[in-house]
Amino acid sequence: MIANSRGMAGPLRVLVTGASSGIGAAIARNYARRGAQVALLARRREPLEEVAAACRADGGEASVLVCDVTQKAEVAAAVGALAEQWPRIDRAVLNAGVAWSDGARSFAECCTSDAQNAAAFDAGTAAEIMTTNYLGAVYFLEPVLAWMRQGSGGRIAFTGSMAADGLLERSGPYVASKAALRALVEGMRPDACALNIGLTLLEPGFVETGMTEGVRYRMPFLISAERAAEAFVRGIEDGKDRVRAPWQMSALVGVARLVPAPLRALGVRWLGRASDR
Ligand SMILES: NC(=O)c1ccc[n+]([C@@H]2O[C@H](COP(=O)([O-])OP(=O)(O)OC[C@H]3O[C@@H](n4cnc5c(N)ncnc54)[C@H](OP(=O)(O)O)[C@@H]3O)[C@@H](O)[C@H]2O)c1
């Protein structure tokens, strides 16, 4: 069991949003294996219950809260309900996110539907993505910061994306939502730190989840959700400001940022071409 960082009684208490699948489910299970008590949040109850059962089998304690992160009142009610069960909160992993609007059923469909493409731009899709990925985290910040302040601090992690570096084709609104999240975290870090609340930005490269299922174009250094979760949980518990996984994709993005724009554009176009996957 990981002791909670402040030597208080009981297990580490961790809230995870977007915990019904993919990276969020893997992060919750990783914490459960370390003996933590996890609260799992998302919209779909059935997969949440399955993840909760797996967390208990992994040795942790788990509870489920159905919540749509785009609804501020639902978020406040979920955190309020949790505050009645838990004496304090140690970690919040704000991970819920979408790469497409609910109108498109998969990332692949979205990327070929042109809704995020300058050629057939759809403002509704852009608004939906921003509401889930950015406001969905912002709505948690208010009650979670207040709760952590009542105790003696804690750490909040946010799932951004290496896409925030702008190297993904036909995904402008998604890229913008993750860049906004990155700016929020970096802008708030000094004042949160003064309250003894650490902020960690998690930036995945390509991870095998429902979000990337069926994607036809190149996804270099694709890793499993479990591998991403291991790097992320370790980074959060080490008190890192930012964790990027896998490191190979991070290095590629770093190099791409240094090369002249026309060469970078060629690379982005190469990435966006269909692979034989
Ligand atoms: N996979 C990648 O390659 C990759 C790369 C970079 C960043 N990311 C980021 O990683 C995070 C997790 O994505 P994933 O890859 O694990 O995909 P995923 O398996 O599709 O998981 C997305 C999670 O977000 C939840 N969610 C979506 N909209 C929600 C809403 N309105 N309210 C509450 N929960 C909501 C989903 O649950 P419900 O549908 O049950 O609500 C699900 O649990 C996202 O922020 C994504 O942008 C992923």
Q: Please report, for the domain that includes residue 140, its CATH number.
A: 3.40.50.720
Q: pLDDT digits over 135-152, tens only?
A: 999 999 999 999 999 988
Task: Compute the distance between CA of residue 182 and CA of residue 166 in angstroms, rounded to an integer.
Answer: 13
* pLDDT for the residue 277: 45
User: Is residue 8 a part of any domain in this protein?
Assistant: no
Per the structure, the complete domain to which residue 205 belongs is given by 13-272
User: Is residue 159 a part of any domain in this protein?
Assistant: yes
SS (H, E, C) 180-230: HHHHHHHHHHHHHHHCCEEEEEEEECCEECCCCCCCCECCCCCEEHHHHHH
- Residue 143 Cβ inside 6 Å of ligand 1? The answer reads no
| Active-site annotation holds for 174 | yes
**Which residue's C-alpha comes closest to atom 16 of ligand 1?**
22
User: Is residue 5 a part of any domain in this protein?
Assistant: no
* pLDDT for the residue 179: 97
- Of 2 and 202, which is predicted with more confidence? 202
Task: Compute the distance between CA of residue 201 and CA of residue 207 in angstroms, rounded to an integer.
Answer: 16
Q: To test the ligand 1 pocket, which listed residue (20, 72, 132) has its Cβ within 8 A of the most ligand atoms? A: 20
Q: How far is the CA of 21 from the centre of ligand 1 (A)?
A: 7
What is the tally of structural domains in the chain? 1
- Of 267 and 109, which is predicted with more confidence? 267
Q: Could you give the 3-state DSSP secondary structure of residue 154?
A: strand
Q: pLDDT digits over 256-274, tens only?
A: 889 888 888 888 777 776 5
- Residue 157 Cβ inside 6 Å of ligand 1? The answer reads no
Q: Which atom of ligand 1 lies closest to the CA of 225?
A: 16
Q: How far is CA 177 from CA 117, 130, 202, in A?
A: 15, 5, 14
* pLDDT for the residue 97: 95
- Residue 161 Cβ inside 6 Å of ligand 1? The answer reads yes
Task: Compute the distance between CA of residue 229 and CA of residue 133 in angstroms, rounded to an integer.
Answer: 19
Q: How far is the CA of 209 from the centre of ligand 1 (A)?
A: 9
Q: What average pLDDT is seen over the chain? A: 89
- Residue 189 Cβ inside 6 Å of ligand 1? The answer reads no
- pLDDT confidence of 93, banded at 50, 70, 90? very high
User: Is residue 7 a part of any domain in this protein?
Assistant: no
Q: How far is the CA of 261 from the centre of ligand 1 (A)?
A: 31
Task: Compute the distance between CA of residue 233 and CA of residue 251 in angstroms, rounded to an integer.
Answer: 20
Q: How far is CA 30 from CA 34, 168, 250, in A?
A: 7, 29, 22
Q: Which of 31, 134, 139, 174 is catalytic?
A: 174
Evaluate if residue 249 carries a pLDDT over 60: yes
User: Is residue 52 a part of any domain in this protein?
Assistant: yes
Q: How far is the CA of 275 from the centre of ligand 1 (A)?
A: 24
CB 48 within 8 A of CB 22: no
Task: Compute the distance between CA of residue 210 and CA of residue 197 in angstroms, rounded to an integer.
Answer: 32
User: Is residue 6 a part of any domain in this protein?
Assistant: no
Q: How far is the CA of 7 from the centre of ligand 1 (A)?
A: 32
pTM of the model: 0.93
Q: How many Cα atoms within 13 Å fall on the side-chain side of residue 27?
A: 35
User: Is residue 4 a part of any domain in this protein?
Assistant: no
User: Is residue 103 a part of any domain in this protein?
Assistant: yes
- Residue 44 Cβ inside 6 Å of ligand 1? The answer reads yes
